[in-house]
Amino acid sequence: MPREPSARSPVELVIFDCDGVLVDSERVAVHVDQRVLAHLGWELQIDEIIERFLGGTTASFRAAVEQHLARALPETWESPYEAWYEQAFTDELVAVDGIEEALDALDVLTCVASNGPHAKLNRTLGLTGLLHRFEGRRFSSDDVVHGKPAPDLYLHAAQTMGVAPARCVVVEDSRPGATAALAAGMRVLGYAGGLTPGRWLHDLGATVFDDMRDVPALVAGMR
Protein backbone atom coordinates (compact mmCIF):
# COMPACT_ATOMS: atom_id res chain seq x y z
CA MET A 1 0.00 0.00 0.00
CA PRO A 2 1.24 3.55 -0.72
CA ARG A 3 2.49 5.39 2.32
CA GLU A 4 0.58 8.54 3.17
CA PRO A 5 2.76 11.65 3.36
CA SER A 6 1.66 14.33 5.78
CA ALA A 7 0.53 17.49 4.03
CA ARG A 8 2.05 19.41 6.95
CA SER A 9 5.54 17.89 6.69
CA PRO A 10 8.12 20.53 5.74
CA VAL A 11 9.69 20.11 2.32
CA GLU A 12 13.44 19.53 2.51
CA LEU A 13 14.14 17.87 -0.85
CA VAL A 14 12.73 18.19 -4.36
CA ILE A 15 13.48 15.16 -6.52
CA PHE A 16 13.22 15.67 -10.26
CA ASP A 17 12.64 12.96 -12.83
CA CYS A 18 14.87 13.57 -15.85
CA ASP A 19 13.22 12.67 -19.17
CA GLY A 20 10.34 15.04 -19.85
CA VAL A 21 10.96 17.00 -16.64
CA LEU A 22 14.51 18.34 -16.85
CA VAL A 23 15.25 17.54 -20.49
CA ASP A 24 12.67 17.54 -23.28
CA SER A 25 13.85 14.14 -24.45
CA GLU A 26 10.54 12.33 -24.68
CA ARG A 27 9.36 14.44 -27.63
CA VAL A 28 12.52 13.35 -29.43
CA ALA A 29 12.76 9.75 -28.22
CA VAL A 30 9.18 8.75 -28.97
CA HIS A 31 9.77 9.20 -32.70
CA VAL A 32 12.96 7.13 -32.54
CA ASP A 33 11.04 4.53 -30.51
CA GLN A 34 8.55 4.32 -33.36
CA ARG A 35 11.34 3.67 -35.88
CA VAL A 36 12.94 1.06 -33.60
CA LEU A 37 9.68 -0.78 -33.03
CA ALA A 38 8.88 -0.78 -36.75
CA HIS A 39 12.34 -2.17 -37.50
CA LEU A 40 11.73 -4.93 -34.95
CA GLY A 41 8.36 -5.72 -36.54
CA TRP A 42 5.85 -3.84 -34.39
CA GLU A 43 4.05 -0.90 -36.00
CA LEU A 44 2.63 1.51 -33.41
CA GLN A 45 1.27 5.04 -33.57
CA ILE A 46 2.90 7.73 -31.43
CA ASP A 47 -0.05 7.94 -29.03
CA GLU A 48 0.12 4.16 -28.53
CA ILE A 49 3.83 4.39 -27.70
CA ILE A 50 3.12 7.14 -25.15
CA GLU A 51 0.37 5.04 -23.59
CA ARG A 52 2.45 1.88 -23.39
CA PHE A 53 5.99 3.02 -22.70
CA LEU A 54 6.27 6.59 -21.41
CA GLY A 55 8.30 6.62 -18.20
CA GLY A 56 9.15 2.91 -18.30
CA THR A 57 12.51 1.19 -18.17
CA THR A 58 14.50 -0.31 -21.02
CA ALA A 59 13.84 -3.71 -19.47
CA SER A 60 10.06 -3.20 -19.56
CA PHE A 61 10.29 -1.96 -23.17
CA ARG A 62 12.20 -5.08 -24.15
CA ALA A 63 9.80 -7.38 -22.29
CA ALA A 64 6.80 -5.85 -24.07
CA VAL A 65 8.45 -6.22 -27.48
CA GLU A 66 9.36 -9.84 -26.78
CA GLN A 67 5.84 -10.60 -25.65
CA HIS A 68 4.32 -9.01 -28.75
CA LEU A 69 6.74 -10.72 -31.15
CA ALA A 70 6.59 -14.02 -29.23
CA ARG A 71 10.35 -14.36 -29.41
CA ALA A 72 13.36 -13.38 -27.38
CA LEU A 73 15.58 -10.51 -28.45
CA PRO A 74 19.34 -11.03 -28.43
CA GLU A 75 21.35 -9.47 -25.61
CA THR A 76 22.77 -6.95 -28.04
CA TRP A 77 19.40 -5.99 -29.49
CA GLU A 78 19.88 -2.29 -28.63
CA SER A 79 23.23 -1.89 -30.37
CA PRO A 80 21.93 -1.09 -33.90
CA TYR A 81 19.67 1.64 -32.51
CA GLU A 82 21.97 3.48 -30.10
CA ALA A 83 23.27 5.72 -32.89
CA TRP A 84 19.70 6.66 -33.82
CA TYR A 85 19.01 8.04 -30.34
CA GLU A 86 22.44 9.65 -30.07
CA GLN A 87 21.99 11.56 -33.32
CA ALA A 88 18.45 12.63 -32.51
CA PHE A 89 19.46 13.93 -29.09
CA THR A 90 22.52 15.70 -30.46
CA ASP A 91 20.41 17.43 -33.12
CA GLU A 92 17.24 18.18 -31.19
CA LEU A 93 17.52 17.89 -27.40
CA VAL A 94 16.87 20.97 -25.25
CA ALA A 95 16.12 21.58 -21.58
CA VAL A 96 12.46 21.70 -20.58
CA ASP A 97 11.17 25.25 -20.87
CA GLY A 98 11.40 27.08 -17.54
CA ILE A 99 13.43 24.46 -15.68
CA GLU A 100 16.49 26.64 -15.18
CA GLU A 101 14.38 29.42 -13.71
CA ALA A 102 12.74 26.89 -11.40
CA LEU A 103 16.06 25.50 -10.21
CA ASP A 104 17.41 29.00 -9.62
CA ALA A 105 14.39 29.94 -7.49
CA LEU A 106 14.18 26.81 -5.30
CA ASP A 107 15.61 27.25 -1.81
CA VAL A 108 15.70 23.57 -0.80
CA LEU A 109 17.89 20.62 -1.73
CA THR A 110 17.36 19.12 -5.18
CA CYS A 111 18.42 15.92 -6.92
CA VAL A 112 17.49 13.89 -9.99
CA ALA A 113 16.25 10.28 -10.07
CA SER A 114 15.77 8.68 -13.48
CA ASN A 115 14.61 5.32 -14.78
CA GLY A 116 17.34 5.63 -17.41
CA PRO A 117 20.89 4.35 -16.92
CA HIS A 118 23.58 6.69 -15.58
CA ALA A 119 25.22 6.92 -19.00
CA LYS A 120 22.04 8.27 -20.58
CA LEU A 121 21.31 10.53 -17.61
CA ASN A 122 24.75 12.11 -17.81
CA ARG A 123 24.55 12.40 -21.59
CA THR A 124 21.20 14.18 -21.74
CA LEU A 125 21.94 16.49 -18.80
CA GLY A 126 25.29 17.29 -20.37
CA LEU A 127 23.78 18.11 -23.76
CA THR A 128 21.34 20.56 -22.17
CA GLY A 129 23.82 22.24 -19.80
CA LEU A 130 22.15 20.91 -16.65
CA LEU A 131 24.73 18.33 -15.56
CA HIS A 132 26.58 20.64 -13.15
CA ARG A 133 23.36 21.46 -11.32
CA PHE A 134 23.14 17.91 -9.94
CA GLU A 135 26.77 17.12 -9.18
CA GLY A 136 26.86 14.20 -6.73
CA ARG A 137 23.05 14.14 -6.68
CA ARG A 138 22.17 11.95 -9.67
CA PHE A 139 20.35 8.67 -9.13
CA SER A 140 19.45 6.02 -11.70
CA SER A 141 17.61 2.73 -11.95
CA ASP A 142 21.15 1.32 -12.25
CA ASP A 143 21.37 1.90 -8.50
CA VAL A 144 18.44 -0.31 -7.46
CA VAL A 145 16.99 -3.72 -8.24
CA HIS A 146 13.59 -2.39 -9.30
CA GLY A 147 13.05 0.88 -11.16
CA LYS A 148 9.82 2.87 -11.30
CA PRO A 149 6.93 2.14 -10.75
CA ALA A 150 8.49 0.47 -7.70
CA PRO A 151 9.35 3.02 -4.98
CA ASP A 152 12.94 1.77 -4.62
CA LEU A 153 14.67 4.49 -6.65
CA TYR A 154 12.97 7.36 -4.88
CA LEU A 155 13.56 5.79 -1.48
CA HIS A 156 17.23 5.29 -2.39
CA ALA A 157 17.56 8.93 -3.43
CA ALA A 158 15.93 10.20 -0.25
CA GLN A 159 18.02 7.95 1.99
CA THR A 160 21.25 8.99 0.26
CA MET A 161 20.30 12.65 0.58
CA GLY A 162 19.44 12.13 4.25
CA VAL A 163 15.83 13.24 3.99
CA ALA A 164 12.73 11.38 5.18
CA PRO A 165 10.30 10.44 2.37
CA ALA A 166 7.50 12.51 3.91
CA ARG A 167 9.69 15.60 3.51
CA CYS A 168 10.29 15.00 -0.20
CA VAL A 169 8.41 16.35 -3.20
CA VAL A 170 8.83 14.61 -6.55
CA VAL A 171 8.39 16.33 -9.90
CA GLU A 172 7.22 13.70 -12.39
CA ASP A 173 5.59 13.50 -15.80
CA SER A 174 4.78 9.80 -16.11
CA ARG A 175 2.41 7.35 -14.49
CA PRO A 176 5.17 4.90 -13.49
CA GLY A 177 7.11 7.74 -11.89
CA ALA A 178 4.15 9.24 -10.04
CA THR A 179 3.13 5.77 -8.86
CA ALA A 180 6.65 5.16 -7.55
CA ALA A 181 6.79 8.47 -5.69
CA LEU A 182 3.40 8.02 -4.06
CA ALA A 183 4.29 4.45 -3.05
CA ALA A 184 7.42 5.88 -1.41
CA GLY A 185 5.28 8.22 0.71
CA MET A 186 6.24 11.38 -1.16
CA ARG A 187 4.14 14.21 -2.50
CA VAL A 188 4.01 14.56 -6.29
CA LEU A 189 3.90 17.51 -8.64
CA GLY A 190 2.70 16.15 -11.97
CA TYR A 191 4.10 18.03 -14.98
CA ALA A 192 1.58 18.08 -17.82
CA GLY A 193 3.45 20.44 -20.11
CA GLY A 194 4.94 17.58 -22.12
CA LEU A 195 3.50 14.40 -23.59
CA THR A 196 1.58 13.09 -20.59
CA PRO A 197 -2.09 14.08 -20.32
CA GLY A 198 -2.70 15.87 -17.04
CA ARG A 199 -5.64 13.61 -16.20
CA TRP A 200 -3.32 10.59 -15.97
CA LEU A 201 -1.33 12.30 -13.23
CA HIS A 202 -4.36 13.85 -11.51
CA ASP A 203 -6.09 10.48 -11.29
CA LEU A 204 -3.10 9.09 -9.41
CA GLY A 205 -3.20 11.89 -6.85
CA ALA A 206 -0.56 14.28 -8.16
CA THR A 207 -0.87 18.07 -8.06
CA VAL A 208 -0.90 18.87 -11.78
CA PHE A 209 0.78 21.90 -13.34
CA ASP A 210 2.02 22.79 -16.82
CA ASP A 211 4.75 25.46 -16.38
CA MET A 212 8.06 24.57 -14.72
CA ARG A 213 8.37 28.13 -13.46
CA ASP A 214 5.50 27.36 -11.06
CA VAL A 215 7.48 24.69 -9.17
CA PRO A 216 9.05 26.95 -6.51
CA ALA A 217 5.66 28.47 -5.60
CA LEU A 218 4.00 25.05 -5.54
CA VAL A 219 6.72 23.69 -3.27
CA ALA A 220 6.45 26.75 -1.01
CA GLY A 221 2.71 26.18 -0.79
CA MET A 222 3.32 22.64 0.43
CA ARG A 223 5.49 23.98 3.23
The CA-based angle 65-67-69, given to 5 degrees, is: 65
C-alpha dihedral sign at 76, 78, 83, 84: positive
Residue of 17, 24, 152, 173 marked active site: 17
17 is catalytic: yes
Distance CA 31, CA 45 (A): 10
What is the C-alpha to C-alpha distance for residues 81 and 206, in angstroms, rounded to an integer? Answer: 34
CA distance 168 to 158: 7
Q: CA–CA separation, 153 vs 186, rounded Å?
A: 12
**Residues recognised as catalytic:** 17
